[in-house]
């Protein structure tokens, strides 16, 4: 097997035994990118500054190359959130997660594609180009972290970072057949993550297996004084949770998630996975998350309101794109603002800005935003009640397998419903993981979602590791 097809922990073992070098690993992955990325289009920019492998080998603990989503600040590197409005923007500082990775010597491969400002579920809203699913090039990889997910699945990255606001790590992980984690809100610093919706955004991991996910989360988790929402709690060593044993665990099956609209093949794969865990000693009970039906509506009010506020800073004055109008209509300054934002933002960004601004406007603030926040509290309370009787909750990650490129781009509601099983996790702030649990008849991956209590990632890891080690879904490789 080629080096780029191995997991990070397998490569770390080879490096420790001096059976390969960090330079060999890096160039093997880079060669794969050069060979296959013209088909996949996972990356928008590759790192032009190759690491100094002489110093890297001496100082590095984890010299495993990584892909970074195009919304995390890397000093003096163009970061655009895949939006025209940030063309040419080079942050003057590193995001905290980038600093942490630099400190352990992880080389950056490049910047991965995404939906503009993370607005989407298919990576079709990028200002550059759509990314293709490695399992079927005519289909989407999911979104908004579709570039990161596709890169890992196609062995163009050993692992990658993404961000998850309503399912943007877990849904593409499910559609690309890899492991994706949305940690508890506050477990990983958001400092240097260009904001979509600040109360929902969370940086997380996309990896080839659960062990790699535990290693990578170890590297990026922890309190950060630069992020006021960062939790000041000790971070356990998640690799110690990789125990193949779920005997006595009680897992909830929310009846609201197994209803009409769930693809039959997805449902069958989830039921088979439940059967595996039952044989391994876990017990299952039906539970209720009664306010799930309001989650999509509440999410798209809260998320668009916060997006409208966060994107107000992109006006062409201090950084990024600046468009000068041909003639003065109102005033030179107002015309510049309007021209820059009209040219710089794509259709989905404009749609969300308008929705959010409307919900914040006089006369509608109470009717929409405040009511959305009240529903959010009810959803959070639902999870708290369920976790009084359960160790974890199992659901599908996505209601369907990967859909065709272009199939939903003109139907925003159908696109928004792609995240119906993931957004409640962000609204309530709890951690969740998606792992492969099967394939459709067309050979498309299916994802299983495990949800745990706040800061109970260890429980999540133990269940998923047990399932993963008892099946072979994560070992199936694409043929490209």
Each residue of 134-185: pLDDT tens digit? Answer: 999 999 999 999 999 999 999 999 999 999 999 999 999 999 999 999 999 9
198 cis-preceded (ω within 30 degrees of 0): no
322/86 Cα distance (integer angstroms) = 9
Indicate whether 468 belongs to any domain.
yes
Average pLDDT, the chain: 95
Give the CATH number for residue 86.
3.90.1300.10
Percent of the chain at pLDDT > 90 equals 90
Indicate whether 367 belongs to any domain.
no
390/393 Cα distance (integer angstroms) = 7
Indicate whether 465 belongs to any domain.
yes
Q: Residue 58: pLDDT band by 50, 70, 90 thresholds?
A: low
Of 422, 449, 479, 428, the closest CA to residue 144 belongs to 422
Confidence at residue 1, expressed as pLDDT on a 0 to 100 scale: 76
Residue 97 · residue 192 · CB < 8 Å: yes
Return the bridge partners of 37, or none.
none
365 three-class SS? helix
Indicate whether 166 belongs to any domain.
yes
Q: Are strands 250-254 and 283-287 parallel, antiparallel or unpaired?
A: parallel
Q: Residue 56: pLDDT band by 50, 70, 90 thresholds?
A: low
Q: Residue 14: pLDDT band by 50, 70, 90 thresholds?
A: very high
DSSP state of 298: H
Greater confidence, 54 or 9? 9
Residue 52, pLDDT > 80, answer: no
Confidence at residue 253, expressed as pLDDT on a 0 to 100 scale: 98
68-114 confidence digits (pLDDT tens): 999 999 999 999 999 999 999 999 999 999 999 999 999 999 999 99
Percent of the chain at pLDDT > 70 equals 99
Residues 424-431: what's their mean pLDDT?
98
Of 72, 168, 166, the closest CA to residue 111 belongs to 72
Q: Residue 440: pLDDT band by 50, 70, 90 thresholds?
A: very high
Q: Scanning the structure block, which residue is given the tokens 């000068």?
A: 324
Return the bridge partners of 436, or none.
447
384-426 confidence digits (pLDDT tens): 999 999 999 999 999 999 999 999 988 887 888 889 999 999 9
Confidence at residue 53, expressed as pLDDT on a 0 to 100 scale: 79
CA 152 vs CA 55, 66, 115, 155: distances in Å: 26, 9, 17, 5
Confidence at residue 207, expressed as pLDDT on a 0 to 100 scale: 98
466/468 Cα distance (integer angstroms) = 6
480/457 Cα distance (integer angstroms) = 34
Confidence at residue 42, expressed as pLDDT on a 0 to 100 scale: 98
Give the strands of the sheet with 66-69, arranged side by side.
43-46, 108-112, 66-69, 159-163, 203-207, 179-182, 432-439, 445-451, 392-396, 250-254, 283-287
201-260 confidence digits (pLDDT tens): 999 999 999 999 999 999 999 999 999 999 999 999 999 999 999 999 999 999 999 988
CA dihedral sign, ordered 36, 40, 46, 51: negative
Residue 97 · residue 71 · CB < 8 Å: no
460/435 Cα distance (integer angstroms) = 11
Residue 59, pLDDT > 70, answer: no
- What is the number of alpha carbons within 13 Å of residue 396 lying toward its C-beta? 29
Residue 295, pLDDT > 70, answer: yes
163 three-class SS? strand
456-478 confidence digits (pLDDT tens): 999 999 999 999 999 999 999 88
DSSP state of 26: H
With a CB cutoff of 8 Å and minimum separation 6, the contacts of 309 are 356, 360
371-386 confidence digits (pLDDT tens): 999 999 999 999 999 9
pTM over 0.85: yes
473/38 Cα distance (integer angstroms) = 27
176/145 Cα distance (integer angstroms) = 11
Confidence at residue 48, expressed as pLDDT on a 0 to 100 scale: 82
The number of folded domains in the chain is 1
Residue 114 · residue 70 · CB < 8 Å: yes
Residue 191, pLDDT > 90, answer: yes
257-287 confidence digits (pLDDT tens): 998 889 999 999 999 999 999 999 999 999 9
Active site residues: 69, 144, 168
DSSP state of 133: B
Indicate whether 58 belongs to any domain.
yes
Helix orientation angle between 22-40 and 146-153, rounded to the nearest 10 degrees? 120
Indicate whether 285 belongs to any domain.
no
The whole domain housing 25 covers: 3-251+388-475
Indicate whether 94 belongs to any domain.
yes
Residue 329, pLDDT > 90, answer: no
Indicate whether 240 belongs to any domain.
yes
188 three-class SS? strand
Burial bucket for residue 280 (CB in 10 Å: 0-12, 13-18, 19+): middle
CA 27 vs CA 30, 50, 262, 274, 336: distances in Å: 5, 10, 42, 40, 45
């Amino acid at each position: 097997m080629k080096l780029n097809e191995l997991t990070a922990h397998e490569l770390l073992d080879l490096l420790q035994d001096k059976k390969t070098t960090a330079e060999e690993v890096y160039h093997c992955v880079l060669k794969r990118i050069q060979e296959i990325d013209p088909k996949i289009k996972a990356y928008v920019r590759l790192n032009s500054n190759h690491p100094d492998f002489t110093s890297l080998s001496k100082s590095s603990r984890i010299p495993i190359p990584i892909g970074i989503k195009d919304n995390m600040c890397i000093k003096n590197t163009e970061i655009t959130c895949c939006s025209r409005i940030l063309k040419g923007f080079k942050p003057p500082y590193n995001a905290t997660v980038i600093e942490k990775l630099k400190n352990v010597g992880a080389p950056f491969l490049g910047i991965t594609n995404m939906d503009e400002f993370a607005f989407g579920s298919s990576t079709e809203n990028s200002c550059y180009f759509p990314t293709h699913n490695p399992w079927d090039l005519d289909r989407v990889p999911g979104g908004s972290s579709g570039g990161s997910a596709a890169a890992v699945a196609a062995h163009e990255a050993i692992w990658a970072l993404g961000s998850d606001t309503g399912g943007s790590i877990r849904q593409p992980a499910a559609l690309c057949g890899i492991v994706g984690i949305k940690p508890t809100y506050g477990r990983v610093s958001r400092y240097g993550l260009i904001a979509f919706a600040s109360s929902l955004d969370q940086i997380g991991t996309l990896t080839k297996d659960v062990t790699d996910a535990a290693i990578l989360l170890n590297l990026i988790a922890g309190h950060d004084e630069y992020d006021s929402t960062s939790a000041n709690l000790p971070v356990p060593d998640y690799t110690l949770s990789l125990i193949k044993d779920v005997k006595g665990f009680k897992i909830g099956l929310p009846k609201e998630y197994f209803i009409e609209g769930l693809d039959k093949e997805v449902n069958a794969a989830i039921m088979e996975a439940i059967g595996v865990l039952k044989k391994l000693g876990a017990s299952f009970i039906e539970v209720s998350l009664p306010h799930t039906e309001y989650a999509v509506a509440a999410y798209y009010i809260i998320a668009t309101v916060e997006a409208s506020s966060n994107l107000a800073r992109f006006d062409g004055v201090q950084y990024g794109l600046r468009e000068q109008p041909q003639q003065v209509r109102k005033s030179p300054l107002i015309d510049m603002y309007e021209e820059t934002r009209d040219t710089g933002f794509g259709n989905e960004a404009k749609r969300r800005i308008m929705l959010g601004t409307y919900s914040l406007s006089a006369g509608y603030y109470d009717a929409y935003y405040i009511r959305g926040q009240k529903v959010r509290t009810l959803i959070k309370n639902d999870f708290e009640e369920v976790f009084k009787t359960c160790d974890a909750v199992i659901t599908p990650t996505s209601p369907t397998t990967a859909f065709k490129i272009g199939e939903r781009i003109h139907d925003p509601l159908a696109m928004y419903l792609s995240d119906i099983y993931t957004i409640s996790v962000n609204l309530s702030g709890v951690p969740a993981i998606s792992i492969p649990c099967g394939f459709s008849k067309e050979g498309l991956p299916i994802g299983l979602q495990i949800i745990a209590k706040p800061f109970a990632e260890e429980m999540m890891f133990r269940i998923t590791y047990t399932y993963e080690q008892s099946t072979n879904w994560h070992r199936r490789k694409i043929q490209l």
